[in-house]
A = this chain, B = another copy of it.
Amino acid sequence: MQSTAVAHRHFLNGAASFPLSHFKPTPSTASPFSVRMSLREDAPSLAVVGVTGAVGQEFLSVLSDRSFPYRSIKMLASKRSAGKKYTFEGNEYVVEELTADSFKDVDIALFSAGGSISKQFGPIAAESGSVVVDNSSAFRMDDGVPLVIPEVNPDAMSHIRFGSGKGALIANPNCSTIICLMAATPLHRRAKVLRMVVSTYQAASGAGAAAMEELELQTREVLEGKRPTCNIFKQQYAFNLFSHNAPVLPNGYNEEEMKLVKETRKIWNDKDIKVTATCIRVPVMRAHAESVNLQFESPLDENEAREILKKAPGVIVIDDRASNHFPTPLEVSNKDDVAVGRIRRDESQDGNYGLDIFVCGDQIRKGAALNAVQIAEMLL
């Protein structure tokens, strides 16, 4: 298995200088034993749609890391990529062209091929009896389509199970929403969040493998004194940052920001939750950071918040004031856990009704592929 995303991951890991000891252990690459366990006849048949992309490749990596059981796996992509070969858990697979017939005998289909592909083929897959876990924004706000972060709102999909014979659509939230709510939800459960002000620091990976390549290429060019190549983004990204490239809506928010506003309301099942967001692209490879200001209905002091977050599944607290060690994108790259730190009482609010936190999470992993595979695990 070789892809740009994976190459980038190794490249950055090789150069990184961070203490791995600060992290909980994360699942390692599947052992030969787990390989044998995951390929079994009573397990579901899988399809990965958009397998050649950054998230598609990460689907495979996460499935293997977590020993996800499967009877068969179908690798689907556009006609252009059909015929490409991948070795996955010791077996060779040929990428097939995605068509309306692709989903016969597919129990669970993981989609990450963009919104238009999802809109076209998601309903076809569901009608064929597949449970679709879709990483695009195509169905997220649709009534009847659960929008799920397994640690946050598993109940939203409790009526959907593999083996029922019925297809379904389940939506994976946007990466920024997942990373924000992984940290905010445990605090929300305790003290009820009334309002959130979010500013993001988003990595190249959110725009796909080609965007990561362009950031690397541009950086080399700028260091050589050349004009940077601007294909994916219309402006210089190396040593620069800019407002998220999603289209701007009539209210002045861009689509990325409104995903945070609307998806939070749906996931928390609270139409009154007040959220504002400013989404910014920074020259980082694959993990997002978010500065989150919280206003609560009930008081919550920073020590209790820290203890709550330390116990929260999928969350790691990195909050070492003495050595100025807090979450960074590099430290969470390729990690499952969302890291939270800078937990402190908000000086601009009275009493203990406000907190500031800083959150980092791997955009490709918990922000996309891992969350989708966790949703698939809940189907079993």
Give the chain B neighbours of A349 by CB distance below 8 A. Answer: 274, 276
Instruction: Tell me whether B282 and A248 are in contact (CB under 8 A).
Output: no
Instruction: Tell me whether B348 and A252 are in contact (CB under 8 A).
Output: no
Given contacts A199-B291, A243-B326, A282-B201, contact A16 B344 (CB under 8 A): no
Give the chain B neighbours of A275 by CB distance below 8 A. Answer: 347-348
Instruction: Tell me whether A252 and B201 are in contact (CB under 8 A).
Output: no
Give the chain B neighbours of A241 by CB distance below 8 A. Answer: 201, 282, 284, 289, 328-329
> Does A11 have its Cβ within 8 Å of any Cβ on chain B?
yes
Q: Which of A317-357 contact B (CB under 8 A)?
A: 321-322, 324, 326, 328-330, 341-349, 354, 356
A278 contacts which of B18, B245, B291 (Cβ < 8 Å)?
B291
> Does A164 have its Cβ within 8 Å of any Cβ on chain B?
no
Complex Cα distance A344/B251, Å? 7
A261 contacts which of B228, B253, B347, B354 (Cβ < 8 Å)?
B347
Interface residues on A, range: 35 or more
Of the stretches A43-51, A129-137, A181-189, A232-240, the one at the interface is A232-240
Instruction: Tell me whether B344 and A252 are in contact (CB under 8 A).
Output: yes
Give the chain B neighbours of A261 by CB distance below 8 A. Answer: 347-348
> Does A25 have its Cβ within 8 Å of any Cβ on chain B?
no
**Most chain B C-beta atoms within 10 Å of own C-beta, residue among A17, A223, A230, A251:** A17
Instruction: Tell me whether B356 and A240 are in contact (CB under 8 A).
Output: no
Complex Cα distance A238/B142, Å? 40
Min CB gap A108→B, angstroms: 34
> Does A195 have its Cβ within 8 Å of any Cβ on chain B?
yes
A280 contacts which of B240, B243, B283, B289 (Cβ < 8 Å)?
B289
Min CB gap A315→B, angstroms: 18
Give the chain B neighbours of A330 by CB distance below 8 A. Answer: 235-236, 239-240
> Does A220 have its Cβ within 8 Å of any Cβ on chain B?
yes
Give the chain B neighbours of A282 by CB distance below 8 A. Answer: 201, 241, 282-283
Instruction: Tell me whether A201 and B280 are in contact (CB under 8 A).
Output: yes
Instruction: Tell me whether B18 and A251 are in contact (CB under 8 A).
Output: no
Q: Which of A281-296 contact B (CB under 8 A)?
A: 282-285, 289, 291, 293
> Does A304 have its Cβ within 8 Å of any Cβ on chain B?
no
Instruction: Tell me whether B247 and A324 are in contact (CB under 8 A).
Output: yes
> Does A12 have its Cβ within 8 Å of any Cβ on chain B?
yes
> Does A358 have its Cβ within 8 Å of any Cβ on chain B?
yes
> Does A97 have its Cβ within 8 Å of any Cβ on chain B?
no
Complex Cα distance A227/B282, Å? 21
Give the chain B neighbours of A243 by CB distance below 8 A. Answer: 324, 326, 341-342, 358
Complex Cα distance A345/B261, Å? 14
> Does A86 have its Cβ within 8 Å of any Cβ on chain B?
no
> How does the 8 Å CB contact mask read for A290-323 relative to B, with 1 for contact and 0 for none?
0101000000001000000000000000000110
Chosen A-B contacts, 15 in total, with CB atoms closer than 8 Å, are A196-B348, A201-B282, A223-B223, A234-B324, A242-B328, A248-B321, A252-B345, A253-B344, A253-B347, A254-B324, A274-B347, A276-B346, A278-B291, A280-B291, A293-B293
Known: A12-B239, A247-B324. 12 other contacts (CB 8 A): A15-B222, A17-B230, A235-B328, A239-B283, A239-B330, A240-B329, A242-B326, A243-B358, A251-B344, A276-B293, A278-B342, A280-B291
Interfacial residues, chain A to chain B (CB-CB below 8 A): 11-12, 14-18, 195-197, 199, 201, 215-216, 219-223, 225-228, 230, 234-236, 239-243, 245, 247-248, 251-254, 261, 274-276, 278, 280, 282-285, 289, 291, 293, 302, 321-322, 324, 326, 328-330, 341-349, 354, 356, 358
